[in-house]
Structure 1
Amino acid sequence: MDKKIGLKDAISIGIGGMVGGGIFAVLGLAVALAKGATPLAFLWAGIIAMLTAYSYAKLSKKYPENGGTVRFIHQQFGTGIFAGGINNLLWVSYIVMLALYASAFGSYATELISLSGSKEIDTRIFQTSILLIALFINYLSVKLVSEIESVAVIIKLFILIAFIGVGFYGLSLHPENLHQLSPENWESPILILSGGMVIFVAYEGFELIANSVSDLKDREKNTEKAYFGAVGFVIVLYILIAIVTVGALPFQQIANAEDYVLAKAAEPTLGQIGFTIITITALISTFSAINATVLGSGRVNYDIAEDDELPKYFCHMFWGKPVGFLITAMLSVALVNLFNLKSISTAGSAGFLLIFCIVNYIGYKKHKELDSKSYVHLLASILCLLAFITLIIQQFSENKVGVLTALGIIVFCFILEIVYKATKPKVV
C-alpha cells in the first residue's frame, strides 16, 4: 500500500501546525506592543520564519528520517551536552506551547460559559481540564488525534477566511477605521520588532513538516514547496487578520479584550453571533493544537531519551504510550497555572528563536552537503539571534517574569543534561 503523502498534504501539516492556538493566544499581545503596526510585526516574524524554513527544507531533504529538529542537531553536534541541552529545550518549548494553547482555550471558554461566577477560577478550570482531556485522548487513540486535527484544520481555516472577508466588508462600510493602521499610530521600531518576536510562537509549527518529509512524494521537487507554501500562506493570513482586527476595534477595546481579541473583533460587523462563532472556532483550534502538541512533544521526549540525552525512564510505557506524554501534560498544567499569557508567550518565542538560530547555523555549516546558499542560512541564523536578544532586552523592562522564565528554562535544560551525563552509569 502506498503511504506516500502529496504536496497538498505536506502543506496542510505545516498550516495546521502554525494556525493552531497561536494566533488566538497572541494577537492581543502583538497589538498591545505594536498598535497600528501589528501587520508589520506579523510580517517581520514571518520573514524570519520563511528564512528558517529554507534551512529546514534543505536539511529535511538531506536527512528525511523522522525526528526533524532532533536529528538535525545530532548530525552537527553528535549526542554530547550541547546537543542534549538544545534537544531538551525543544521538548520544554513544546511544554510552553501547550501552556500557551491551554491559556488561550481557558480565556475564550470563560467568555462563553460561566461555571463559578469568577473568571479567574473558570479560566483555571478550563485550561487545566483541556490539557487532561487531550492527554486522555492521546492515550486512548493516536488515530483519533489525527482525525480531530484534520477536521479542525478545515473548520478553522474556513472560519478565519470568512472572518477576514467579513472584516474587510466592515472596513469598506467604515473606511475611517483604517486610520488606526496609519503610521501615526505605529509604536517605535523596537516595539514593532519586539511585538513580532513575542508572537513568533504563532509561526513555529512549520517545523512539523520535517517529520513527514520521509513520506513525501517527489521529495526532491516538493520539500521546498511544502515549507514555503505553508509559511507563505500563513504570513498572508496573519497579516490580513491583523489588519481586520486593528481596523475593527479601538486600541482600548483591544487592550481590554487582550486574551480573546479575535472574537471581540468579529462583534462590530456580526454582533454577538460573530463573537460566539469566533469563540467556538478558537476553542476547536486550541483544542486540536493541544492534542497534536501532546502527541508531538511526547514523541520528541521519547526520541531524546532513546538517544540517551534524558533518562531511559522516559522510554517506559504507561497505558500503552510513553510516560513522557504524561510528564509533558503535567508540566504544562503547572506552567499554565503559575504564569500569565505574556510570560508564557515570551518564554515560548525565546526558546524557538534560539533553536531556530542553531538549526540555521547547522544549515550554514552544511551548505555544501545541502547544495544550498550559505548566506541565506547565515542571515537567518543572525536574524534569529538578534530577534532573541531584542525580545529579551525589550521585555525585561515590562515583563521581567517572562524573561527570567525564558532564561531560566534555557539554563535548566543545559543543567539537566550536564547532571544526567555526569550521573548516568558508565558503560563498561
Structure 2
Amino acid sequence: MQDSKISLRDAVSIGIGGMVGGGIFAVLGLAVDLARGATPLAFIVAGFIALVTAYSYAKLSVAYPDRGGTVRFVNEGFGKGVFSGGVNNLLWISYIIMLSLYAAAFGSYAPNLFGITGDDATDSHIYLSGIILLATFINYYSIAVVGKIESYAVIIKLVILLAFVALGFYGLVGNDNLGQLAPDNWVSPVDILTAGMVIFVAYEGFELIANSAPDLRDPGENIPKAYYYSVGFVILLYLAIAVITVGSLEFSEIATARDYVLAEAAKPMLGQIGFTIITVAALISTFSAINASLYGGSRVSYELAEDDELPHSLTDSLWNQPVGLAITAVLTLVMANTLKLESISTAGSVGFLLVFAVVNLVGYRKSADTGSNRIIPMVGFIICSVALVTLLVQQYQTARTGVLIAGGIVSACFLVEWGYKASRA
C-alpha cells in the first residue's frame, strides 16, 4: 500500500512556499523606504521573531497535531470562548489581508509587461481584480489544480530567486552603491524595529506547517526540523535579497520603483531581460500565493464554524466549496481595491503579531504538556508584544490610517465573536 504520509522535504517546502509567496515582492521597496541602509538588519529582526515563534509552533504541533493548526492551539490554550474566537477570527481576516497584499503586488508588477489603458494605476486595479477572480474560479473548479500550481510555482520562484542572489552578489563587486549599506545610512534602532515589523508579513506562512502535522512522517523528529529549516533558509534568502537590492540601486531609484523594486534590482546585472525575468517570477509567486491562500482562508472559516466560533452556515457549500471561499474572495477584492499597500502591510503585521503573541503564550501555558522550555515561548510572547506596540506607536505618528484600519479590524473580530456568543446564550 502506498505511504500517504508526507516527508520532511515536503513539509519544508510547505513552509518555504508559504513564506516566499508574494510578501517579499510586495514589501521589499517599502522596507528600504523605512529602513534605508539598515534594511538587511530589519529583515533579520523580523526573522528572529519568526524563528522564536516557530519554536512554540513546533512544540504545539507535535503535542496537538491537527489540520486546524493555529485554531486548535488557541482553543487548547484558552478554551472556546470569546477571546479564542476573536483571535481565530483575526487569523481568518489576516489571511484576507495577506491575499490583498499579494494581489496588490501582482497589480504593481503586471503593468510592466502588459499595459492596458496606459495608466499604471488603473491597470494595477484591473490586474489585481482579475487575478483574484481567476484564482477564485480555479479554487471552485478543482482543489487538485490548486495543489499542482503551488508545487510547480515553488520550484520556479526559488530557482529564479536563487539565481538572482548568485548573480547579484557577483554584480556587487565594485558597485559604488555598496556604501549605502554602511551604518551612516542606517535609521534609529526604533525605526529599524518598526521597519522589521511592517515587513513581518514576508515571514507569514511558516505556520502552514502546523496544518500538515497530522500527515507528516516521524512527526516528533521532523516537525521541529521542518519549522527551523524553512524559517532559517528564508531568513538567509531575504537577507541576501536585501543586501543585493540596497547595494545595486541608489535610494532614489528604489523609491521610484518601490512597488516593483526587486525587478528593478535585476537591471544592473542583466538589463531588461533580468527585469522581465524577475517580473515574471513575481507574477507567478503572487498568483500561486493568492491561489493557495484563498483555499487556506476558506478552510479557516470552515474550522471556526465547526468549532462554533462563527455561524454554522459557513460550513454550507456553495458550488461544491465552503461558502467561506466566496466571502474570502469578495472581502479580498474590496480590501485590495480600497487600501494602499502600506496600510495593508501594517494591518497584516498587526494581525499576525497579535496571533503569534497569543500562540507563544499558549506555548508557555502548555509547556508541561508539550515538554518545551518555558522561557522560549515567554520570550516569544514578550518580543511579539513589544514589536506590536512599537509598530503601532511609530506608525500612528507617520502612517495613521494603517494603524486605525488595523485597530478597527482587531476590534471588529472580537466584537463579532462577542455578539455571536451572546446571541446563542
The interval holding the TM-score normalised by the smaller chain is over 0.9
C-alpha deviation, 1:178, in angstroms: 1.3
Q: Which amino acid aligns with 2:42?
A: A
Aligned partners of 2:413 and 2:81: how far apart in 1?
13
1:62 — aligned with what?
63
* In 1: Cα distance, 2:423 partner to 2:113 partner: 50
Structure 1 counterpart of 2:401, one-letter code: V
RMSD (CA atoms): 0.7
| TM-score, structure 2 normalization | 0.99
Deviation, structure 1 residue 406: 0.6
- Within 5 Å, give how 1:37-116 maps onto structure 2: 37-116=38-117
**Residues of 2 paired with 1:194 and 1:86: CA distance?**
23
Superposed, 1:321-332 pairs within 5 Å as 321-332=321-332
Task: Report what 1:285 is aligned to.
Answer: 285
- 3-state DSSP of counterpart to 2:171: helix
- The CA deviation at 1:175 is 3.8
Matched residues in 2 for 1:25 and 1:342: separation? 10
Aligned partner of residue 168 in structure 2, secondary structure? helix
CA contact 2:316–2:323 (8 Å) conserved in 1:
yes
Q: Where does residue 117 of structure 1 map in the other structure?
A: 118
Q: Deviations over 1:168-227 (max 9, x none)?
A: 11111x243211101011111111111100010010100000011111111111111010
Distance in 2, matches of 1:286 and 1:299, equals 20
Q: For 1:69 and 1:41, how far apart are their aligned partners in 2?
A: 26
Matched, 1:155 2:135: no
Question: Could you say what secondary structure the match of 1:199 adopts?
Answer: helix
Residue 228 of structure 1 aligns with which residue? 228
Deviations 1:353-377 (A, max 9, x none): 0000000000001111111100000
1:400 corresponding residue in structure 2: 400
1:143 matched residue in structure 2 = 144
Instruction: State the identity as a percent.
Output: 59
Counterpart CA distance in 1 for 2:372 and 2:85 is: 27
Distance 1:263 1:27 in 2: 11
The residue matched to 1:206 in structure 2 has which SS?
A: coil
What residue identity is the alignment partner of 1:421? K
Question: How far apart in 2 are the matches of 1:30 and 1:152?
Answer: 25
Counterpart AA for 1:370: T
Distance 1:2 1:165 in 2: 37
Separation of aligned partners in 2, 1:399 and 1:199? 14
Q: Is 1:218 matched with 2:215?
A: no
Cα deviation digits, residues 135-189 of structure 1 (max 9, x gap) = 11001011100000000000000000000111111111x2432111010111111
Equivalenced residue count is: 424
Moved more, 91-100 or 112-121: 112-121
CA distance in structure 2 between the partners assigned to 1:138 and 1:54 by the alignment: 32
Q: Distance in 1 between matches of 2:215 and 2:227?
A: 15
Aligned to 1:182: 182
Distance in structure 2 (CA, Å) of the matches to 1:213 and 1:419: 33
TM-score scaled to structure 1, two decimals?
Answer: 0.98
Mapped pair 1:316 → 2:316: yes
- Separation (CA, whole Å) in 2 of partners of 1:167 and 1:208: 30
Mapped to 2, the partners of 1:218 and 1:252 lie a distance apart of 50
Q: Could you tell me how far apart the structure 1 residues matched to 2:204 and 2:176 are? A: 35
Structure 2 distance, partners of 1:65, 1:75, is 11
Which amino acid in the other structure matches residue 109 of structure 1?
Answer: A
User: What CA distance in whole angstroms lies between the structure 2 residues aligned with 1:378 and 1:77?
Assistant: 16
- Displacement of 1:111: 1.4
Counterpart code for 2:362: I
Cα distance in 1, alignment partners of residues 190 and 341 from structure 2: 21
Taking the aligned partners of 1:344 and 1:202, their CA distance within structure 2 comes to: 12
Cα distance in 1, alignment partners of residues 157 and 118 from structure 2 = 29
2:417 paired with 1:417 = yes
Please say if 1:350 is aligned against 2:350.
yes
CA distance in 1, matches of 2:169, 2:74: 44
The aligned amino acid for 2:336 is V
Structure 2 CA distance, aligned partners of 1:252 and 1:380? 36
- Alpha-carbon distance in 1 for matches of 2:8, 2:377: 24
Amino acid at match of 1:319: W
- How far apart are 1:422 and its partner, in Å? 1.6
Instruction: List alignment gaps of at least 5 residues for structure 2.
Output: none
* Residue number in structure 2 paired with 1:266: 266
Structure 1 residue ranges without an equivalent (≥5): none
Corresponding residue number in structure 2 for 1:209 = 209
Alignment partners' CA distance in 1, 2:254 and 2:248:
9
SS of the aligned residue for 1:212 comes to helix
| Aligned residue number for residue 336 of structure 1 | 336
Instruction: Note if 1:376 corresponds to 2:376.
Output: yes
- 2: CA distance, partners of 1:129 / 1:323: 20
Write the letter of the residue equivalent to 1:216.
L
Q: Quick one: distance in 1 between partners of 2:219 and 2:92?
A: 27
- Give, in whole Å, the separation in 1 of the partners of 2:195 and 2:395: 10
Q: Which amino acid is the alignment partner of residue 243 of structure 1? A: V
Please list the CA deviations of residues 68-98 of structure 1 after superposition, one character each: whole Å capped at 9, or x if unmatched: 0000011111111111100000000000000
Deviation at 1:295, TM superposition (A): 0.5
Give the letter for the 1:416 counterpart: V
Match of 1:22 in 2: 23
